[in-house]
Structure 1
Amino acid sequence: MKNALVSIVIPCYNQGSYLDETVQSVLASTYRPIEVVIVNDGSKDDSLKIAQQLQEKHPEITVLDQPNSGVAKARNAGVDAATGTYILPLDGDDLISPDYLEKGVEVLAQQPKVKVVYCQAVKFNSSIQKPWKLKPFSRNKLARDNMIFVAALFRKSDFIEIGGFSEDMTMGREDWEFWIKMLKDGGEVVQLPFIGFYYRLTQQSKRKKTGTNQKKRERIAYLNAHHLPFFERELNGPLRFQRTWSKPYNTLLKWLGKL
């Protein structure tokens, strides 16, 4: 049976110094066929030039160029242009192992109930490499925090069904909200038992910019506004600022008749 096409979608904003290494990690994959869709999101460095040079060398690569619009819109544009059955989003400075795609597609192809496949991961930079300790998946845990990084495999059909990444979620952790949309009403999740993803730590890492209390409040308000029935089912009420205490606090308020 012929392998299904996998589309690796790489949004890139000022990540020119890492982009070639990221793409090479994809091209080293043991799985074929693949296509690589690089979306230059209005970079001010040489990202577009490097992407176009890579496109000239490798027929699997397509380059899109758009004004700076944010990572959610860049990912959506890349997936919309992608023609693969399966999608892997990959940021322009991160890496994957050669066997990640092959092992991930094997699960999706053989297990229709599985919606998302990811793997173990490490965080790294030029001086350190450390395990990324991810909690086991459950919908209840997902209601309080995200344990699936964005570079996970899923079907394009599921992406279309949920409307892709929410482009108006500009306060960070849009991948968390994406997985809530994908998984809140069912679907199994598989974590592969090996390190297949390498998350690069940089001074420009988005998680640092969106880690303020104000951004957290905005994020929680957005999630409650869009997914309140999910939180009510899993947490007995809305997601709270102290996320771990959401369920006991909501339960107490209901017992006191205040929720």
Structure 2
Amino acid sequence: MDKALSIIIACYNDIDVRKAVEAASFQTYVSKEIIVVDDGSNEATKEVIASVKDKIDILIEQKNSGQSIARNNGIKKATGNYILNWDSDDYFEPEFSEKAIPKFQEDEAIKIVTCKARRFDKKGTIDIFTPRGGKLEDFLFRNSALGSAMFKKTDWEACGGYEENLPILGFEDWEFYIQLLKSGGYAYVIPEILFHYQVRPDSTTAQIKSLKQEKYKHIILKHPEIYKANFVGLIDDLFKRIEQKDREQLKIYKTKEWKAGKFLLSPFRFLKVLKQNLVPKK
């Protein structure tokens, strides 16, 4: 029987998938199905998935192809009109879906439903994050919704799904939201903490941090017509990024460690200059 809501959990080498599946099963919205996409995980993860197979409606096993392809393959099998993407190491509060779906029914212009999030690690809560939400222009220079959010399958089909070809690992959600909102509509933010995001040093977000400017460049080049139409905003954002980088560099220069390193290296620099001056010129 078709369900109204399909929860897609893409997983790659993550034993925390057990918690994700269990949390998904606790969603109070009754008409739901849970689809797990095993993206070529190791045996330890496969054993964990098998231990909660009674809570999984559809299990897709594939060779490791990346998060975008895994999500798209899961959504293709979904029977629900509402799609909730769910990373294997995070979780939503049980009432999220029950609160999110009515928002789409109240306003047809809503394309994405997200919420406030608690970021945590092994030590506990780090902070509370509130996404900006809004229309396309609110997503051009930063992702204004959580990576795990709800949208309609019909809208996913209309915009072609998640990008599978561009090397934008970690920015799939941002680029997908731009695709969703190109035809209009907006992202609604439920003003409640209904999502819990785990910060891990080995996560995809941590791995691509040093490449974020390159990923941003790919998004701009994929949507040149949008960014040309918002040229002034693009230039303003690029200069803000440069200024922020300069401020971060200045902070490093002011640290005791940097000053101490500069002091310790100064004799070597002096000797290097002295040597250069003493060597006879040909």
C-alpha separation in 1, matches of 2:48 and 2:241: 46
Structure 2 counterpart of 1:99: 95
TM-aligned CA deviation for residue 120 of structure 1: 0.7
TM-aligned CA deviation for residue 119 of structure 1: 0.7
TM-aligned CA deviation for residue 45 of structure 1: 4.4
Residue deviations 1:137-179 (CA, integer Å, cap 9, x gap): 3433311111211211110000011111001233331111000
Relative to structure 1, the CA distance from residue 239 to residue 104 in structure 2 (aligned partners, 3 Å threshold; closer, same or farther) is: farther
Structure 2 counterpart of 1:165: 162
Give the secondary-structure state (helix, strand or coil) at the position aligned to 2:147: coil
TM-aligned CA deviation for residue 245 of structure 1: 6.2
Residue deviations 1:210-247 (CA, integer Å, cap 9, x gap): 111xx23432332122111111223437578837469x
- 2:78 matched to 1:79? no
Give the secondary-structure state (helix, strand or coil) at the position aligned to 1:148: coil
Give the secondary-structure state (helix, strand or coil) at the position aligned to 2:87: coil
2:141/2:234 contact within 8 Å kept: no
Structure 2 counterpart of 1:22: 20
For residues 1-150 of structure 1, the aligned pairs below 5 Å read: 5-16=4-15, 18-55=16-53, 57-58=54-55, 60-129=56-125, 130-150=127-147
Relative to structure 1, the CA distance from residue 135 to residue 231 in structure 2 (aligned partners, 3 Å threshold; closer, same or farther) is: same
TM-aligned CA deviation for residue 49 of structure 1: 2.3
For residues 218-237 of structure 1, the aligned pairs below 5 Å read: 218-236=214-232
C-alpha separation in 2, matches of 1:216 and 1:91: 20
Tell me the TM-score normalised to structure 1 length.
Answer: 0.85
Aligned length: 239
Tell me the TM-score normalised to structure 2 length.
Answer: 0.78
Relative to structure 1, the CA distance from residue 135 to residue 107 in structure 2 (aligned partners, 3 Å threshold; closer, same or farther) is: closer
Paired amino acid for 1:148: A
Deviates more, 1:167-176 or 1:28-37: 167-176
TM-aligned CA deviation for residue 22 of structure 1: 1.1
**Bigger proportion of residues as helix:** 2
Relative to structure 1, the CA distance from residue 43 to residue 198 in structure 2 (aligned partners, 3 Å threshold; closer, same or farther) is: same
C-alpha separation in 2, matches of 1:97 and 1:79: 22
Relative to structure 1, the CA distance from residue 84 to residue 152 in structure 2 (aligned partners, 3 Å threshold; closer, same or farther) is: same
C-alpha separation in 1, matches of 2:239 and 2:196: 27
Structure 1 unmatched ranges of 5 or more: 247-259
Paired amino acid for 1:6: L
From 178, 193, 202, the counterpart of 2:176: 178
